Structure 1
């Protein structure tokens, strides 16, 4: 088992977690990639006082030290230092009168610009001002200082500070956790008896299982290029309601049902009978960490095992059981398990849940809201593409479910993701209609399509 990172001996240096070490290394290997950029862009429909916004930004940087951290390379690995909050500057870019499509392209580009964590930090805020009362605020962080929840906390706190300065009487956010304390808690856990039990649990899950690997359209390059694209799978409201009902009837969660059918889709798409995927989960276990910007994520290794007779329902129930048992050991950084030259990385595919209806900025995901007194709506730019072969976010809100599939374009064509999404859709439909159907027996073409294809084969040449 790998050892936890040692505390750096450099005076005044902050601590770095195991997950941050891994992300720092990924950045060193591909410093110009945007695969690990976490982005939240907000369209603002009222005049923005940029001086006030800068003051709000300074206050947020003071609250969340990782937003003003630098990560320098040493012989021992990364060393984290901090700069004064006022060093974090708002980048105002005037783009008068650009077309909607161009504004979206500029917002996407602002989020994709590479970070220089050693010299410039891992956070930026860009205001694209199209007109006096029309702008997009792009907040971007490198994953080394943030996660999905953090990005929403950042925006929540930024507009709370803005509103407090413009007479909106915004309540002050609760005090966040100290990052060094979080890292010390991680290291104490790993070094203790509970950490040993967690490591044994994860070794038992992972030993002997390869990472799930979909058949690729092109040979795997010798080094990951970290370039990607996105495919969305949106389930209609009726399917979402059936999913909620079927899961509740059996004491399961909708995410476990989707996760189990996702694993079944991987199996039917060529990943083999037994494999591992990752399931990122939060490590925000205290009230203070729930208010903090930081990398509060550990990936849970999830095993899948199939025989010719495995029913869909059994796959879903196994996913629920693994999630339940895995969350009890979620404090353990999976990076410490490590891959190997012989077996490769621990996993190449991940699937996680984002409960959009529980994000820190209520309503923004679903429609226009007021933030700090300003009319605002989400500008949903693409991001985090190409981190792995395939990363999937299942987004759940009051309207239903959708899956955002981000894939490595060095390996896969868009048509391959279309087919995979159709396979997942088909397996989900059958699991809701006939959950005891063996995974291997599910026809991946609908009956009407199958009849059509068979009819083609009977025609004279």
Structure 2
């Protein structure tokens, strides 16, 4: 790391901010931290620091960023690749301190000062030495919960300009002296799900420490996103052909297209608009499912993934299915705390033959999932580039369905509880804000908590209503109950015999829609009725 960058890193942990006013270096921070030694160090390295802050670096973009840049050219106005976190904050929020904290975070992480530009026939990262944090603030004292959710959704989907930036924005909405809403939004090109919660950890750590007059108890950033891109390029130089050979065989020459029955006709060009349905599976059912998984020597992840694939097969009749599995992209521990877009999906192809038993399907999914995990470093954007599958603007490439199961990050676990989290003298609670709801035809995202599994079915609004996703959720729960209710029987049962219909649907199909009885005269025999009908329509075919 550049010496000036290292110095700035150390100063940010003291709460000291640096910026340029023209060509002059300016600084601010807690008075007790601006010691004679610190000021002497700044004076000694002033020229280097000014040069660093005024410099814009042009760095290679990752394959993932290149893919997002291409998508952005077609969907820039839809905000489909925005990552947002929303919070309800109660207490005396120090807005000035919060603004300082965001500026310190932008100084700490290169990714938060990054833009994507097209130059010399390719996509580049443009990393600014200094960038002012984008923070907007307004008052909304009259919003109720419904209006707040509507406004947060509208703020969340506002588009970013990848070339102009900034790609991180913060919105503070004041509802009263002791109540506000905080919305943090970033383009997916500079953060992924993991790093958004890493950033959240640091946000509260900075705020709490500086509010108490303490040094921030974090280590300087050891590996930047630029380091990750360099690692990715070196890894591919050594392993690309081996990884490519695996994924070429895994995906195959044909690309099965998911054909779920839909509520609406598929448009010629998909819009990325989404709908969703949230649900919860009890801790009791989750525990029983873990027990079934253990008997088959598979993880809960494999069991839930296999059941999801079976649900799709039962709705489509297709044995060959392709499901995307997002990976954290942090196989190297060095990048465990790196902020940036490291995640990348792998494509899992399964053959869900309805004559297989559940135990056989679990064994197949386990083997293919483990193999995929062993080869997850191959960038999905690079795989698409080399496969060059037929493009259809009405569908996502390669897979139209997604599956995610994750354990919550530390902050996520605390903030999603009903009680929220205490930060200094503030009470902070996370607000629901579904993300990426229209990127695939359908997706299932699960979060494992101490109280069970929290889930959300997401779908394309071009194809489905939220009511349809709710039915999918209910049918999946019926399937899981059947698996967990009598494991010995369900594991040996052919997949086609496992139930997915709810009791209401069974009543409708087997009873209500088969109720074809009609009134007829009780005082006449059947042959009299037939003769009377023949007399009325003598030329009709019997």
Provide TM-score, normalisation by structure 1: 0.91
Q: Deviations over 1:345-367 (max 9, x none)?
A: 211111112211x4455512224
Offset at residue 376 of structure 1 (A): 0.7
Aligned with 2:219: secondary structure? coil
Is the CA contact (8 Å cut-off) linking 2:137 and 2:174 kept in structure 1? yes
- Equivalents in 1 of 2:281, 2:213: separation in Å? 38
Q: 1:397 aligns with which of 435, 442, 449?
A: 449
TM-aligned CA distance change 1:227 to 1:271, over 3 Å? farther
- Equivalents in 2 of 1:447, 1:109: separation in Å? 38
TM-aligned CA distance change 1:239 to 1:369, over 3 Å? same
Task: Please tell me whether residue 109 in structure 1 is matched to residue 154 in structure 2.
Answer: yes
Offset at residue 179 of structure 1 (A): 1.1
Aligned to 2:13: none
Aligned to 1:121: 166
- Equivalents in 1 of 2:139, 2:507: separation in Å? 57
Offset at residue 447 of structure 1 (A): 6.0
Structure with the greater relative contact order (CA < 8 A, sep ≥ 6): 1 or 2? 1
Aligned to 2:363: 317
Q: 2:183 aligns with which of 122, 138, 146?
A: 138
Structure 1 unaligned regions, length at least 5 = 1-10
- Equivalents in 2 of 1:376, 1:210: separation in Å? 45
Provide TM-score, normalisation by structure 2: 0.78
TM-aligned CA distance change 1:212 to 1:370, over 3 Å? same
Task: Please tell me whether residue 183 in structure 1 is matched to residue 229 in structure 2.
Answer: yes
Stretch of structure 1 that moved more, 77-86 or 105-114 = 77-86
Q: 2:460 aligns with which of 404, 408, 413?
A: 408
- Equivalents in 1 of 2:481, 2:511: separation in Å? 25
Aligned with 2:60: secondary structure? coil
Q: 1:252 aligns with which of 288, 298, 303?
A: 298
Q: 1:90 aligns with which of 135, 153, 159?
A: 135
Aligned to 1:5: none
Structure 2 unaligned regions, length at least 5 = 1-55, 519-542
Aligned to 1:45: 90
Offset at residue 183 of structure 1 (A): 0.8
Aligned to 1:6: none
Is the CA contact (8 Å cut-off) linking 2:136 and 2:172 kept in structure 1? yes
- Equivalents in 2 of 1:341, 1:248: separation in Å? 38
- Equivalents in 2 of 1:380, 1:133: separation in Å? 21
Offset at residue 373 of structure 1 (A): 4.3
Offset at residue 21 of structure 1 (A): 0.8
Aligned to 1:426: 478
Q: Which has the larger radius of gyration?
A: 2
TM-aligned CA distance change 1:62 to 1:26, over 3 Å? same
- Equivalents in 1 of 2:323, 2:101: separation in Å? 40
Task: Please tell me whether residue 262 in structure 1 is matched to residue 308 in structure 2.
Answer: yes
Offset at residue 314 of structure 1 (A): 2.3
Aligned to 1:365: 416
Aligned to 2:496: 440
Offset at residue 371 of structure 1 (A): 2.5
- Equivalents in 1 of 2:423, 2:298: separation in Å? 36
Q: CA RMSD in A?
A: 2.3
Is the CA contact (8 Å cut-off) linking 2:113 and 2:131 kept in structure 1? no
Describe how 1:253-332 pairs up with structure 2 within 5 A: 253-270=299-316, 272-332=318-378
Aligned to 1:460: 517
Aligned to 1:15: 60
Aligned with 1:363: secondary structure? helix
